[in-house]
């Protein structure tokens, strides 16, 4: 199930639990974040320098990733920590859960992850909106829905859990072949 | 938790996949199913030319007959799987609106769409997306061409 928001909607977890058979399901919680700011800045600086002096960009873009590995690690840890309560809750209930992280555009990363790992179902939350904004399905959800080649379960998250949008957390259950 | 499942169907291939998968899910969960078919006014919907106006009553009768056939087939499939189901025909309403009206009485909506890009846009643009945008009920969107999910998927009963 895909889910938007910095925390999981209880609704999505409920839906996963109701629809899927625990023994046959492997859940991956995928949390997609933005690139850490310092890395982005470093990349920009390198890119800028590279284009100004027409130096090939390839080595330059590699360098900051290595240089800032601590920043990446910290960012990754933050993504994992953010979904920790939900992951723990699922594990306590006996589900097999793993956490994955990615950096980039959420729809791209979600669809790519699902494809790469042979995911069978994407579960996600859409935001509860009111008024004008309500006409707009979460843009992430809509993009995933359009591009995914597998079933997508969408659950509207309650108002309380859907206020902030910047990060995206996902539960992507995989059905065991067994 | 999911005791009632709404499956809108227009009789198309991808709707049949939704019927099939939705029923498999209902079977596993012990849920009851409502099949919904929406009959638009062909003149309002824009697929009958004004010149057809004199025949519109007859056209509508034909469409209505086709609609009952679609719903009867779905009911027959439900019966063969031992799933309790009933059918609802809504007339003179935009499909997305009708689905939205109906969903509140259900715990889950199962809808079909084509998995292929391109077709996606067309199929999805109209009905499913229109309904989804206002959805308060969880939606399970299934694909017409994901054969892998047919047998072993989350909606397939073991």
| pLDDT (mean) for B68-94 | 94
Tell me the whole-structure pTM to 2 decimals: 0.74
pLDDT band at B65 (very low <50, low <70, confident <90, very high): very high
Residues, chain A: 178
The answer to whether A99 touches A113, Cβ cutoff 8 Å, is no
- Tell me the pLDDT of chain B averaged across its residues: 78
Nearest chain A residue to B125 by CA distance is A146
Please answer yes or no on whether A154 and B135 come within 8 Å at the CB atom: yes
pLDDT(A136) > 60: no
Q: Which residues of B touch A17 (CB under 8 A)?
A: 1
| pLDDT (mean) for A147-176 | 58
Please answer yes or no on whether A177 and B146 come within 8 Å at the CB atom: no
Please answer yes or no on whether B154 and A173 come within 8 Å at the CB atom: yes
- As a whole number of angstroms, the distance between CA B107 and CA B36 comes to 15
Nearest chain B residue to A20 by CA distance is B154
pLDDT(B51) > 80: no
CA distance A113 to chain B (A): 17
**B146 contact A CB<8A:** yes
CA B16 to chain centre: 8
Judging by DSSP bridges, how do beta strands A25-33 and A168-175 pair with one another?
A: antiparallel
Task: Point out the residue among B115, B136, B153 whose CB comes nearest to the CB of A149.
Answer: B115
Top pLDDT among B70 and B136 is at: B70
pLDDT(B81) > 50: yes
ipTM value, please give it: 0.74
Q: What integer pLDDT is reported at residue A163 of this predicted model? A: 37
Q: Where are the beta strands (DSSP E) in chain A?
A: 2-4, 25-33, 96-103, 122-127, 152-157, 168-175
> Rounded to the nearest 5°, which phi and psi values hold at A54?
50, 35
Q: What integer pLDDT is reported at residue B68 of this predicted model? A: 94
The answer to whether A145 touches A99, Cβ cutoff 8 Å, is no
> Rounded to the nearest 5°, which phi and psi values hold at B87?
-120, 150
- Tell me the pLDDT of chain A averaged across its residues: 68
| pLDDT (mean) for A128-132 | 44
Provide the token pair at B145: 């061409």
Task: Give A61's contacts (C-beta < 8 A, 6+ positions apart).
Answer: A43, A46, A47
Residue to substitute from B140, B143, B148, interface A, most A β-carbons within 10 A:
B140
Of A63-72, A104-113, B54-63, B77-86, give the range with the top mean pLDDT: B77-86
Which of A148-157, B10-19, B20-29 has the least mean pLDDT?
A: A148-157
The answer to whether A82 touches A6, Cβ cutoff 8 Å, is yes
B12 sits in the region (left: phi over 0; alpha: psi -120 to 50; else beta) called beta
DSSP string covering A47-58, please? Answer: HHHHHHHT--SH
Task: Point out the residue among A120, A137, A151 whose CB comes nearest to the CB of B132.
Answer: A137
Task: Point out the residue among A25, A154, A177 whose CB comes nearest to the CB of B132.
Answer: A154
Nearest chain A residue to B121 by CA distance is A146
Please answer yes or no on whether B138 and A156 come within 8 Å at the CB atom: yes
pLDDT(B133) > 90: no
pLDDT in tens, A30-49: 888 877 666 555 555 555 54
Which of A104-118, A132-146, B140-154 has the least mean pLDDT?
A: B140-154
């Amino acid at each position: 199930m895909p889910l938007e928001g910095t925390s999981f909607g209880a609704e999505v977890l409920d839906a996963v639990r109701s629809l899927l058979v625990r023994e046959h399901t492997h859940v991956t919680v995928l949390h997609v974040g933005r690139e850490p700011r310092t890395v982005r800045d470093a990349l920009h600086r390198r890119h800028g320098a590279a284009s100004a002096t027409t130096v090939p960009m390839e080595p330059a873009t590699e360098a900051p990733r290595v240089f800032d590995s601590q920043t990446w690690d910290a960012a990754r840890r933050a993504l994992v920590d953010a979904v920790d309560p939900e992951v723990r809750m699922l594990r306590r209930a006996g589900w097999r859960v793993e956490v994955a992280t990615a950096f980039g555009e959420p729809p791209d990363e979600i669809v790519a992850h699902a494809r790469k790992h042979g995911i069978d179902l994407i579960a996600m939350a859409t935001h509860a909106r009111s008024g004008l904004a309500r006409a707009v399905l979460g843009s992430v959800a809509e993009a995933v829905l359009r591009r995914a080649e597998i079933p997508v379960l969408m659950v509207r998250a309650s108002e309380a859990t859907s206020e902030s949008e910047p990060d995206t957390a996902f539960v992507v259950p995989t059905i065991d072949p067994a | 938790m999911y005791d009632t499942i709404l499956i809108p169907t227009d009789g198309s291939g991808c709707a049949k996949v939704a019927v099939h998968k939705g029923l498999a899910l209902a079977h596993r969960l012990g849920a009851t199913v409502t099949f919904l078919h929406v009959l638009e006014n062909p003149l309002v919907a824009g697929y009958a030319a004004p010149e057809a106006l004199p025949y519109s009553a007859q056209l509508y009768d034909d469409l209505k007959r086709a609609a009952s056939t679609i719903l009867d087939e779905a009911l027959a499939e439900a019966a063969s799987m031992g799933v309790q189901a009933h059918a609802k025909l809504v007339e003179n309403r935009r499909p997305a609106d009708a689905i939205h009206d109906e969903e509140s009485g259900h715990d889950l909506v199962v809808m079909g769409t084509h998995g292929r890009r391109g077709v996606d846009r067309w199929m999805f643009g109209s009905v499913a997306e229109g309904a989804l945008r206002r959805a308060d009920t969880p939606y399970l969107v299934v694909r017409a061409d994901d054969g892998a999910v047919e047998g072993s998927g989350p909606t397939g009963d073991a």
